[in-house]
Amino acid sequence: MDKKNKRIAIFGANGTIGRALLAHYQNESHVYAFSRNDFDARNSNSDKILLGDYNDETLARTASAYEDNSFDKIFICIGMLHNSDFMPEKRIEDFSKLQFMKTMESNALVPALIAKNFYKKLKRNEKSILAFLSARVGSISDNRKGGWYSYRTSKAALNMLVKNLSIELGRNNKRLVVIGLHPGTVDSPLTQPFQKNLEGSKIFSADFSVLKLSSVIDSLSVESSGKCIDWEGKVIFP
Ligand SMILES: NC(=O)c1ccc[n+]([C@@H]2O[C@H](COP(=O)([O-])OP(=O)(O)OC[C@H]3O[C@@H](n4cnc5c(N)ncnc54)[C@H](OP(=O)(O)O)[C@@H]3O)[C@@H](O)[C@H]2O)c1
């Protein structure tokens, strides 16, 4: 099959990891790059789709433009750790309703709405991938430091979404792999305020992380569906 017959959808294509995925896959696949805001895609010949927002109605209208069984892979690269109004909580006194709601919206609610409106667009007659950018800090068993209440909780919720989708969607699509991905610590606006606490060697470029993640994804089978795995292909336990 001509590789350009492969179709990949990337949501949050204007983010750091989203743009690296776009650059990686555009040579071998037709990429549909979805984002809220316009962005400069590196030499991209992909389709850029600007949504303005990720509300249910907007997503339903957008999805209706695509036939069922269209995409080989869907990546959801949306997420938030901090913004101009708040940083991740160090202690429970820092916790606020607004921060929690905004973080849950970005990391769990919007990914769920995208899955709801787009899962039928994934191929059923061959292996297909529904991948969510999660994070190791969403693991409950791996939590030794505490803190980051909203982010940790939202990524744990996302991991439950991944598991639930793998069960429900897997009933009718036996070749579908639903997966959470931990990209490592990647140089991006999301990690920028925390990079001084890490040695340089522990911070990946987005291109390096995506290279690793893409080979992990190629090796996945349906037995992995519902799990969260890291850039090395190692399972992160809930
Ligand atoms: N970087 C890391 O080291 C790291 C580590 C673990 C996990 N992750 C996960 O990887 C994903 C991508 O991270 P990144 O480093 O590429 O971050 P980034 O460069 O800050 O990109 C974040 C993306 O999320 C979108 N976004 C944020 N809040 C949104 C909302 N409420 N609704 C819709 N879109 C929203 C942004 O869109 P706009 O530009 O339109 O706001 C942007 O496309 C995130 O889920 C993050 O949690 C990253």
- Residue 3 pLDDT > 60, yes or no? no
Q: Which of 10, 19, 21, 36 to mutate to test the pocket of ligand 1 (most atoms within 8 A of CB)?
A: 36
Per the listing, tokens 């973080």 go with 103
Span 80-84, average pLDDT = 97
Residue 195 has pLDDT above 70, yes or no: yes
Q: Is 6 in the pocket of ligand 1 (CB under 6 A)?
A: no
- Tens of pLDDT, residue by residue over 86-133, are 999 999 999 999 999 999 999 999 999 999 999 999 999 999 999 999
Residue 141 Cα distances to 144, 147, 236, angstroms: 8, 14, 9
| 147, two tokens | 């803190």
Domain ranges of the chain: 3-236
Q: CA dihedral in degrees (230, 235, 236, 238; nearest 10)?
A: 140
Consecutive H or E run containing 208: helix 206-218
Residue 159 pLDDT greater than 70, yes or no: yes
Please tell me the predicted confidence (pLDDT) of residue 80: 98
pLDDT of 44: 65
Q: Centre a 10 Å sphere on the Cβ of residue 200 and count the other Cβ atoms it contains.
A: 7
pTM for the model = 0.97
Ligand 1 atom showing the smallest separation from residue 78 Cα: 24
By percentage, how much of the chain surpasses pLDDT 90? 89
Fold of 3-236: Rossmann fold (3.40.50)
What are the tens digits of pLDDT across the range 35-54? Answer: 999 988 766 678 999 999 99
Element (H, E) at 73: strand 73-76
How many residues does the structure list for the chain? 238
Instruction: Check residue 202 and give its pLDDT.
Output: 87
- Interval 27-31 mean pLDDT: 92
Locus of tokens 């693991």: 139
* 226 touches ligand 1 (CB under 6 Å): no
**Which long-range contacts (C-beta less than 8 Å, at least 24 apart) are formed by 189-198?**
189/16, 190/16, 190/79, 190/80, 190/81, 190/82, 191/81, 193/82, 193/87
Tell me if 135 CB under 6 Å of ligand 1: yes
Distance 22 CA to ligand 1 centre (A): 14
Query: Nearest Cα to 232, choosing from 223, 221, 214, 222?
Result: 214
Whether residue 88 has its Cβ less than 6 Å from ligand 1 = no
Proportion of the chain above pLDDT 70, given as a percent: 97
C-alpha to C-alpha distance for 196 and 198, rounded to whole angstroms: 5
Rounded distance from Cα 2 to ligand 1 centre (Å): 32
Average model confidence (pLDDT) across the chain: 95
